[in-house]
Amino acid sequence: MRRILVSLLCLVALAIALPAQSHQEGAEHSANQEETHGEGGHDCACHEDEAYDPGASAFHHISDANVFHIAGEIYLPLPCILYAPGQGLSVFLSNKFHFHEHGNGAYAVDGYVLNHGEVMRVAQAGFPMEGEVAIECFTETHTEDGKTINQVIYEGQCYNLDKKTSYDGGIMGGGVTSFYDFSVTKNVFTMLLTFVLLFFLLRAAAKGYQTNDGKAPKGIQAFIEPVFLFIRDEVAIPFLGAKYERYLPYLMSIFFFILGLNLIGQLPIFPGSGNVTGNLSVTAVLAVIAFVVVNLSGNKNYWQHIFNMPGVPGWIKIILTPVELLGIFIKPLTLMLRLFANITAGHIVIIIFVSLIFIFGKAGESIGGSALGGVMAVPLTMFMMSIELLVAFIQAFVFCILTASYIGAAVEEHHEHH
C-alpha cells in the first residue's frame, strides 16, 4: 500500500513538473523566434497549389485535425481550446475560422489560423492578435537547413506560423512552441464517439445477463459474449491465474477500446476515418497506463528478479540488472510503437493506393489515366482493407495479451525452478 502511494506521489510530481518546464521552454522558444524572424510582413502573393504529392496527402489524411471533414465542403466544427502563455486561453468552435476548401480557414481568430484543418498560431509581430480578421491564403517557405515553415498571407504580407506544441524535442519537426492545443480534435471526437458506442453496446450486453438470466444469451449479449470469453479464457486466465479477476476489467477495457478505435478508423467516411490508434500520443498514453498497472502490481518476487536475479553469479548481475531495468521501460515502449506502426502503416498504404488514381490521372488532367489508376486502386485497396480488418483485431489482441503477460510476470509467485 505504501509503495503504491509513493508511486502515485511521484507520478503527480512528474505531471506537475513537466508542463511547468515546458512553459519555460516555450517562452524561450517563442522569444528565440521573435529574435530570429523578427517582425513579419515580407511581401507575398497567393499562388496556385503545387503538384499533387501523395506522401503529403497520406500524412495529411492520417493526422489529427481541428475540423471533421464529412463530405465535399461539409465540415463538422469542433471545439477549440487553445492556450498561449502570455495571451491566455481561447475557447471557440472551429467554424469561427470560416473554413472552406482543404479545411483552410478564411479568418484568423485571436492570432490563430486554420491551415489544412490544423490550428496554427501567427508567430511574428505585426499581425492583429485580437479578434477575427480575414486572411488571404496559406503558403510555406523552406529554411536553409531543410525545415518547412508554414506562412499565412495577410494584406499581401507573409507571417510565419507556429504549430501546436509537441514533446518530440524537435526531432520530428515539432517542439515546444508559442501555444498549446487542448482542443477536442478529430481524434478526441472519435474517441468520445467510440466510448459512447462501446458503452451502449457493452451495457446492452451486460443487461442481457439480467433479462436473460437462466436462459441462453440473445442479441448483443450473444455477440459480445464470445469475444469476452475469448479474452477471459485465452488471455486473462492463462497469464494471471487465480488473480485474473482483479485485472479483467483493465484487460477488457484495453481490448475493446483499441478494437473499437481500430475498427472505426477503418471506415473511410464520417464518423470513421479518425486515425486514433495510429497516433503515437494515444498509444503512448495506453503504454504509460500499462507501465503503471504492471509496476504497481509488481510483487517482491518481480522486483527481486529485476534487481537481484536469484541463482545468478554476482558478476553477471552487473550486466543483467541494467538490462532488466531497461526491460521495464522497453516493454511498454514496444507496446506503444507496435500498435502505432501497424495502424499507421495500414492507413498510409491504403491512401497511397487510392492516390494511384491521382498520380495516373495527373491530378485530373487525364481521364484515361484516372480510370487506369482506379482499376488498379480498387482491388489493391480492397485487399489492403481486408488485411487492415485483420490487423485491427490482431493488434487489439496483441496489446491485450502482452499487457496480460507483463502483469502476469509481475504478480507471479515465487517458484523454486526456473
Partner 1 sequence: MDLLFLADFSVIRPEPGLLIWTLIIFVLFWWLMSKFAFRPIQEGLKKREHDIQNSLDAAKMAREELANLQAHNEELLKQAQEERAMILREAKEAKETIIQEAKDRAKEEAKKIVLSAKQEIEHQKLEALTNIKNEIGQMAINIAEKVVHQKLQDSKESTNLVDQLVKEINFNN
Stretch 237-276: interaction string toward partner 1, x if CB under 8 A: --------x--xxx-xx--xx-----------------x-
- Contacts with partner 1 by CB under 8 A: the residue count is 73
Cα 295-299-302 angle, rounded to 5 deg: 75
Q: Are the beta carbons of 154 and 108 closer than 8 angstroms?
A: yes
Stretch that binds partner 1, among 29-37, 226-234, 319-327, 409-417 (CB under 8 A): 226-234
Given 11, 20, 31, 192, the residue binding partner 1 (CB under 8 A): 192
Q: How far is CA 66 from CA 38, 269, 379, in A?
A: 28, 17, 32
Q: Does 228 bind partner 1 (CB under 8 A)?
A: yes
Given the complex with partner 1, which of 252 and 328 has the nearer CB atom? Answer: 252
232: closest CA among 246, 211, 248?
248
Distance in angstroms (rounded) separating the CA atoms of residues 268 and 131? 36
Pairing state of beta strands 107-109 and 137-142? unpaired
Q: What residues between 273 and 292 interact with partner 1 by CB under 8 A?
A: 275, 278-282, 284-286, 289
Here the cell at position 14 is 512528474
Q: What residues between 285 and 324 interact with partner 1 by CB under 8 A?
A: 285-286, 289
Q: What residues between 77 and 136 interact with partner 1 by CB under 8 A?
A: 81, 118
Q: What residues between 335 and 394 interact with partner 1 by CB under 8 A?
A: 340, 344
For residue 122, the cross-strand partners are 161
Cα 23-93-45 angle, rounded to 5 deg: 80
Stretch that binds partner 1, among 106-114, 210-218, 307-315, 362-370 (CB under 8 A): 210-218
Distance in angstroms (rounded) separating the CA atoms of residues 37 and 16? 32
Stretch that binds partner 1, among 27-35, 224-232, 315-323, 375-383 (CB under 8 A): 224-232
Residues 6+ apart with CB under 8 A from 248: 232, 236
Stretch 52-71: interaction string toward partner 1, x if CB under 8 A: -x-xx-xxx-xxx-------
Given the complex with partner 1, which of 195 and 307 has the nearer CB atom? Answer: 195
Distance in angstroms (rounded) separating the CA atoms of residues 64 and 113? 16
- DSSP assignment of 10-34: HHHHHHHHHHHHHHHHHHHHHHHHH
Q: Are the beta carbons of 394 and 285 closer than 8 angstroms?
A: no
Given 4, 167, 268, 330, the residue binding partner 1 (CB under 8 A): 167
CB of 306 to partner 1, least distance (A): 26
Given 52, 107, 182, 393, the residue binding partner 1 (CB under 8 A): 182
Distance in angstroms (rounded) separating the CA atoms of residues 15 and 180? 16
CB of 198 to partner 1, least distance (A): 7
Given 90, 104, 151, 187, the residue binding partner 1 (CB under 8 A): 187
Given the complex with partner 1, which of 250 and 406 has the nearer CB atom? Answer: 250
Given 22, 33, 301, 321, the residue binding partner 1 (CB under 8 A): 22
Stretch that binds partner 1, among 103-111, 160-168, 327-335, 405-413 (CB under 8 A): 160-168
